[in-house]
Each structure stands twice: as C-alpha cells, then as structure tokens.
Amino acid sequence: MSDYLAKPDPDDPKLTRTVAGIDHAGAAVSVPVVEERTLTLFLNAQEIVTLMTIGDHPAELAVGYLLNQNMIASAAEVSAVDVDVDLGVVVVRTAHETDFEAKTRKKIRTSGCAMGTMFGDVMERFEEIRLPNAEVRTSWLYALTKTINTTPSLYLKAGAIHGSVLCQRDRALLYMEDVGRHNAVDKVAGYMALHGLSGDDKIFYTTGRLTSEMVIKTVLMGIPILISRSGFTASGVELATRANLTLIGRARGRRFTALAGIERIVFDIAPDEAAEEPPGLRRKAAGDDW
C-alpha cells in the first residue's frame, strides 16, 4: 500500500450517515451514504461561490478552486486561509486586491458536476503552458490502479463520489475525494500549491470522465499524464492533443486505452504479467459511475 501524504478517511463520522431502507428483495438494510455540505468561499471580502462538498480539506479546496479559475496566479499570493467549519465558510486572503471582477464577466459554463464554472482567460493560460517531457511505464500504471482501487475510501464504503489521486512513478502520493469531480481535482491542486509540489514528474489519476474540464485542470497543474478508469469526450481528447498531454482512459485491471500523448508510454510489462482487478471491485464499478 502506498504511503500517502493524505488519503480518504472512510471512518470519519462527519463524512457519511447511515440510512435505513430496503433492498431488491424487500429486506431491510442500513447503508452508509455520503454527506453533502455547503462551503462558501470568499476571496478577501468578496463572496465568490458556494460549493457542495463533503467538507474535508476546505483550505485546499478553496485555494485549488481559485487557482484553477485563474483568480489567483499562485499560492505565493495567499497570505492566509481562514476556515469556519461551523458556518461552512473559508476565506482566502491575499496581500493585494485581485482583478477577479473583470474575470467574472468572462464566465462560461462547463460540463462538470454541480455546474462548475471556468473563465475565458483560463484558456489563454492553457495555451501558454508547455508540459515537460515525461514517461509512464505500463508497470507503473498497473501498480497504481491496483493501489488506488484497493485503498480504503468513501467510494468503496458508500459510492456516489469521485476521487483524484496525485502519483509519482508507481507511487500514489495524494488521494482526495468529493461529490463533484472538479472539487476532488481542486483539492489536489490546492494541496500541491500550499505544499510546494511540482507537477513536472507527476501522474494524475481521476475516477471521472476525461472531459475538457478535466484536461484543462490537469494542464494548469503542469502534470503531463492523465489517467482515468472512465471514458473520454471528443473535446477532452482534442485539448489533450493540443497541450501534448498523455491521455489514458478505461484503465481497469490489465486494460487501458490511450488517445493522446502516446509517445510517453513505455511498455515494460506485458498485460498478462499484471494482477487482475479484484472481482468485487469490478462488479461495484460496473454499477456505479463514481
């Protein structure tokens, strides 16, 4: 098992509640379900957005959101992050005023869960980024999917949640979950920024679909390789190709499909040499869209 810098805590009583119901046979059941809470984000004195989230890692979520919306350029601008758990409020403070008012006039909608928002000038920043040379070995990919898919998580406990994992070679470093895939990504981005982690030699794993939003956020983090157990959208593939991002989807057990940046993939192990995904996990994943 990987020695994570941070990982899910499925036993945290604040993240789930037990609900009584019946199953397909009419038998009584009690199942854990994921909690959703509101988190209102302020940038200095200005209210920015209210997010639906499971409530963990609010500082990382807030900083990552502002970075990925291009409302702040780097964590160096942040002078303090104040969190009030009881009120569901996080305030990110900067030493100087920002120009977010102009950015809000260029707001566009994306396909993310809970109607995530992005800003037009994010694409200007996207076009300027040059991803580093890197490689991903198939032995790393197989090891990572096994580690991630067997790590105790809210998904394995209750489902109805997305996960994002920052990896380096065959090691899973950081595992974040949330009800929206964009929130899970923003938590990783915020953690990286607040802890000074570079994306140059990293691999990003998501349980969500490989959409344009997911590709953009990965490129903004400076990560050259994006992997998912889910499928692709055409816009996601087009943007990955433009950015020279390695895009690997449908990564389950011994199988995967790569549609962009395939020159980074090193086939150092045959598929039949890798361990197959546990049958129980395959059944669960088939019935739940993460």
Q: What are the pLDDT tens digits along the chain (290 aa)?
A: 468 999 999 999 999 999 999 999 999 999 999 999 999 999 999 999 999 999 999 999 999 999 999 899 899 999 999 999 999 999 999 988 877 755 554 554 444 454 444 556 788 889 999 999 999 999 999 999 999 999 999 999 999 999 999 999 999 999 999 999 999 999 999 999 999 999 999 999 999 999 999 999 999 999 999 999 999 999 999 999 999 999 999 998 889 999 999 999 999 998 887 766 666 554 454 444 44
Question: CA dist 153 to 59, 160, 290, Å?
Answer: 21, 12, 12
Q: Rounded to whole angstroms, how far apart are CA atoms 228 and 206? A: 5
Helix H, strand E, coil C: the string for 77-120 is HEEEEEEECCCCEEEEEECCCCCHHHHHCCEEECCCCCCCEEEH
pTM of the model: 0.89
Read off the tokens for 206. Answer: 């998501």
Q: What is the pLDDT of residue 288?
A: 46
Q: Rounded to whole angstroms, how far apart are CA atoms 261 and 9? A: 34
Classify 136-286 by CATH class: alpha beta
The structural domains of the chain, with segments of one domain joined by +, span 136-286
Orientation of helix 234-243 relative to helix 212-220, angle to 10°? 30
